[in-house]
Amino acid sequence: MPAITISRELGSQGRQIAKSTAQVLGYHFMDKSTIGMVLGEYGLVEFGREYEALPGFWERFDARRMERREEVINMLNRVILALARHGNIVILGRCGFAVLHGYANVLNVRIQAPLHLRVAQVMNDHSFTDNKRAESFVKDNDQIRTAFIESFYGVRWDSAIAFDLVIDTSKISPKQATAWLVAATKDLEQKKEAAAKTTSTISLDSTLNAAICEALHCNDAH
């Protein structure tokens, strides 16, 4: 069954849209914290600290550190693939769109908004009182995400070609965006292309699969 990846700019209300889409569809919702739980069960106990440190510009020239970080990324990729194989899931962030590109039953979505609106949203969400500090926080976040995706996946995070659907929440409300994603997913569920590559072809590691089932409280692949 389908999987949805949602990549979002900070402050674009992408998390809200991802969670509401999962709720309406009755899908599982996975974000950094829950994926971290899976990786912890799978053996990468320090995923949170390792992931947050990725990647500093000068650190990419440290071969030993890069080797460790490539190991982290490889494990992350395995989890993303296994989650998609489980099915009926919304994956927020973690470069899901890059990992799952090319699967016919995966809907890759990008949520974005103009900078000034994202800054205002971040000020509200994170209790910033200074506009300049909030703007710097948003820009730094954008830079880190861009560097991470381009360094490890070789794709542009802001390129529409990498996504099936791009939504600007300055024009499309979260409610409308959710409705669009629900409709698109239901339509995807009905499509059957014999020659298409789907997530059913993904092989599963039994240990990883057990960790995912425990995190999702669901033993049945959809």
Report the DSSP beta bridge partners of residue 107. Answer: 4
What's the pTM? 0.88
pLDDT at 58: 36
CB 37 within 8 A of CB 215: yes
Residue-by-residue pLDDT tens, the chain, 222 positions? 789 999 999 999 999 999 999 999 999 999 988 888 888 777 654 555 555 554 553 344 444 566 667 777 888 899 999 999 999 999 998 889 999 999 999 999 999 999 999 999 999 988 888 999 999 999 988 988 888 888 888 888 888 899 999 999 999 999 999 999 999 999 988 887 666 899 999 998 888 888 888 888 898 778
pLDDT at 59: 47
Please give the domain boundaries of the chain with CATH numbers for all domains.
Answer: 3-115+160-216 (3.40.50.300)
Side-chain-side CA neighbours of residue 177 (13 Å): 27
Alpha carbons 168 and 197: distance in angstroms, whole number: 29
Side-chain-side CA neighbours of residue 11 (13 Å): 25
Burial of residue 165 (number of CB atoms within 10 Å: 0-12, 13-18, 19+): middle
pLDDT at 44: 55
Residue closest to 40 by CA, chosen among 12, 72, 70 = 72
Cβ atoms < 10 Å from Cβ of 124? 11
